[in-house]
């Protein structure tokens, strides 16, 4: 799926989620990589487990509105959400008193409640009830060991030195998305985001398709369908010559060329790097040290 940033139409005041219990770090949490989507069991207080997706591209986090009502959550201000698709979809602000993933617990976690989660789960064929995004991940060091299907919550980022072709250290910022420096497509620098909620490889915005000179590749690509927070949408599927992640080169990666007016226009970034590429690496997201470490296992 595409990046599915979720925001209300009005401004939201973000409050930091409770930090992991320090004594519980490091903590290893096995995950399921289902159709290249990261899924983990999550407990909400003494309830659960519920199946949750881990998505760096969701801001803040999201919960199925049916589950929110089942838990008796108080729904606050509502607004339209942003993301892939063309439908008008509303969600409502609320908070989760306690969220536990493995031995890691966060408190007072901001989420938006809406009907999109159930639809995304139906598309994947799994009963997803939650998406844990920025309000859970920010302020942490989280490692995604894709080959071993293990998510690790670390006390600090591993000591590492960049090694061309094997290990890259990319400066990052966690705004609405995890923005990366040092990424190139076909040798050209691009503004990129790391999206663990995307089960695709490289997804390119309509403006970047033109700026990178990929109009012909996009128009000649095979038609594809995607699902976002605002429903399904059409795109084009093809390849680019190369993707360079801070010195790690991926040759001839599959690319999705997003079409105009499908919910992907006007992004502050150019490309979305998803799990079809990340699944070959160990990826450490250090939101405190503001960098992403990508290593070949």
| pLDDT tens digit at each of 297 positions of the chain | 333 444 432 222 223 344 444 446 799 999 999 999 999 999 999 999 999 999 999 999 999 999 999 999 999 987 766 666 656 668 899 999 999 999 999 999 999 999 888 888 888 899 999 999 999 999 999 999 999 999 999 999 999 999 999 999 999 999 999 999 999 999 999 999 999 999 999 999 999 999 999 999 998 888 887 776 767 788 899 999 999 999 999 999 999 999 999 888 999 999 999 999 999 999 999 999 999 999 998
pLDDT of residue 222: 87
* Phi and psi angles of residue 66, each rounded to the nearest 5 degrees, phi first: -65, -40
**Equal CATH topology for 22-154 and 167-295:** yes
pTM of the complete model beyond 0.85: yes
CATH 3.40.50.2000 is right for the domain spanning 22-154: no
Are the C-beta atoms of residues 199 and 259 closer than 8 Å to each other? no
The predicted structure's pLDDT at residue 172: 98
Can you spell out the DSSP letters for 50-113? EEEEE-TTSSS-EEEHHHHHHTTPPP--EEE--SSBSS--EEEEEEEEEEEETTEEEEEEEEEE
Q: Which is it for strands 128-132 and 62-64: parallel, antiparallel or unpaired?
A: antiparallel
CA 173, distance to chain mean position in Å, is: 14
Q: Using CA atoms, how far apart are residues 169 and 163, in angstroms rounded to an integer?
A: 9
User: What's the confidence (pLDDT) of residue 81?
Assistant: 60
**CA dist 158 → 94, 111, 213, 295 (Å):** 35, 30, 38, 11
DSSP 8: -
Q: Are 215 and 209 in contact (CB under 8 A)?
A: yes
Q: How far is CA 239 from CA 161, 250, 262, 287, in A?
A: 31, 11, 20, 31
Tell the CATH topology of 167-295. Cathepsin D, subunit A; domain 1 (2.40.70)
Distance from C-alpha of 127 to C-alpha of 197, rounded to nearest angstrom: 16
DSSP classification of residue 208:
H
What are the structural domain ranges in the chain? 22-154, 167-295
């Amino acid at each position: 799926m595409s990046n599915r940033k979720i925001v209300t139409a009005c401004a939201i005041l973000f409050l930091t989620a409770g930090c992991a219990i320090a004594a519980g770090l490091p903590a290893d949490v096995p995950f399921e990589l289902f159709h290249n989507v990261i899924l983990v069991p999550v407990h909400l207080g003494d309830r659960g487990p519920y199946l949750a997706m881990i998505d760096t591209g969701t801001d803040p986090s999201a919960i199925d509105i049916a589950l929110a009502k089942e838990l008796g959550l108080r729904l606050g201000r509502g607004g339209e959400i942003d993301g892939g698709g063309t439908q008008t979809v509303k969600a409502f602000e609320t908070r989760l008193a306690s969220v536990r993933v493995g031995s890691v617990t966060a408190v007072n976690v901001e989420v938006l409640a809406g009907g999109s989660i159930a639809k995304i789960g139906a598309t994947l064929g799994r009963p997803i009830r939650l998406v844990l995004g920025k309000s859970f991940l920010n302020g942490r060091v989280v490692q995604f060991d894709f080959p071993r299907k293990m998510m690790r919550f670390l006390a600090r980022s591993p000591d590492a030195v960049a090694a061309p072709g094997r290990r890259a250290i990319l400066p990052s910022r966690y705004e609405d998305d995890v923005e990366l420096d040092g990424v190139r497509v076909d040798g050209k620098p691009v503004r990129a985001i790391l999206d663990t909620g995307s089960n695709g490889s490289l997804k390119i915005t309509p403006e970047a398709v033109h700026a990178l000179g990929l109009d012909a590749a996009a128009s000649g690509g095979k038609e594809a369908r995607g699902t976002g927070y605002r429903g399904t949408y059409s795109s084009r599927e093809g390849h680019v010559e190369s993707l360079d992640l801070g010195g790690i080169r991926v040759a001839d990666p599959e690319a999705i060329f997003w079409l105009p007016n499908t919910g992907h226009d006007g992004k502050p970034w150019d490309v979305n790097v998803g799990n079809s590429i990340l699944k070959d690496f160990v990826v450490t997201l250090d939101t405190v040290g503001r960098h992403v470490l990508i290593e070949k296992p």
